[in-house]
Structure 1
Amino acid sequence: MESFMHFWEHIESWQRMAILLGGMVFFWVLEGYYPMFAFSFKRYKHAGVNLLFLLSTVILNIVLGAITIKVCDWVTTHHIGLLNWLGLPLWANILLGLFFMDFFGQYAPHYAMHKIKWMWKFHMIHHSDTKVDVTTGTRHHPGEWVFREASTIIGVLVIGLPIGMYFLYRSMAAIFTHFNHANIRVPLWLDKPISWILVSPNMHKVHHHFKRPYTDTNYANIFSLWDRIFGTFAYEDPRNLQYGLDVLDGSTDENLRYQLRLPFDNTIKTDY
């Protein structure tokens, strides 16, 4: 276990990028063979628009991630946070670290973005995609990433997350994001048991249904237990779902200029 964490403590930037892109390519190929929905669209154009959002995310990760890494180093040096106080075995620290970082890095800011009007307008870009596939997981307005990383930093302080666990969490979060957004066909007999503890593809697709109340469910990224604990879990056969948002014109989902302006367009209804 020590050698496992040693890898994450010293992981190179190119290795982290390989995990991010490798997972995306893997599910991109897989959804070509086992698609959940046979969308009628230009797959490469759709991916190109979403990957432009990924570029902004990578740039922000370099800036904000550097701050988060400094905070990880600080809590380790000064023995701040739960993991530094509880004195648990390494394997337990890893599980607790991943579990609670899923709350601070994903569930909490995600919930807030659905409940606070001005934050929701940034998050609407992610939900505006009418053809959800693996590239949709990268589709976030740059402003949204600021909310997420700020909450992540709070989590690092509360948990006392060391640098290695931060990199491990980021990689796990990326893999689950690809897995959950991928347009892959997962039979209900397999998907449902996965969703008892972890976020499954069919479970997350419910979150991308075009109208409430399903839109306001399933906020977690790795552990479905957070949604079960807070009563935001929902499950539905994906064949009964429709992607997008009922307050937006679905034909604008690949209009990059329109999407970037969405948070600042006062004519857009937010349904609040």
Structure 2
Amino acid sequence: MSYYAVLELSTQASPEDIRRAYRRLVLSTHPDRTPDPAQHRRYLAINEAYETLSDPARRAAYDAALARLQQPDPAPEAAFESHPDPAMRRRGFRRRPLSKAEAAARVQASYPAQYARYMPWARRVNWALLLCALLLLLDSQWNTKYVDQEVRRVTEHVVRGKGGTLDSYVRIETPDLNFRLDQNMLREGEMIDVECSALFKQARIIWPAGNADPDRRIFIDTFYDLLFLPATMAVVAAIGCWPPPGNRRIVDTAAMAITLGVIHLYLLLRS
């Protein structure tokens, strides 16, 4: 509600009209005259309106702002379509203007064409990542042993950031393996036996060479403990490979499978 409406006046009211309306309304709504909370709120609004409209400078600024609010929104600028002829584009010629609805419809119509363009590439990606996920699942269940491995090098690594130490680990190198431990439990020259995955050589259990005591075994955490990750990548990639073909489904699943593949690559390189 505008200040003029609060004082029950038109925008053409004179200063004298404003003073008379204020005196009339403030007497009827003053808290000493009525205990009604609604009339008290109206009394405050009347005083606020009078403070603005009784001052010529403040009234002029208020009238200008009120006029701007009452003006209709300007018509949206029409989108122009580029002319198909390069020579005409250089000379500044454009086709008829497009409305916002037409421009949005053209963008929406371009999506199927874009999905169709990337679908063949996305399908190959899905097949490749499905194969990788199946290999990871196979590797998680297929273990092999390396016996009499000499610990040739023990290297401690500390990763620091602005907030302090982010990560610390120990890198163990033997003639056939290179793996990571969270703590330094081995010495250089020590002989150990290692059980690891057959394909990607992810060390899973180590123990002193020739010692069958299960209490001496050290179990190593690997990303194969998170078996749902390769299983999820296999499911996502399989959905992208599943007939009948759907361009959008194939491209979207390829994007998701690539993200999971990057995570798996990082975990493989980290271990």
Common fold: TM-score over 0.5 = no
Write 1 or 2 for the structure with the bigger share of strand.
Answer: 2
Write 1 or 2 for the structure with the bigger share of helix.
Answer: 1
Greater RCO (Cα-Cα under 8 Å, separation 6 or more): 1
Q: Which protein has the larger Cα radius of gyration, Structure 1 or Structure 2?
A: 2
TM-score w.r.t. length of structure 1: 0.19
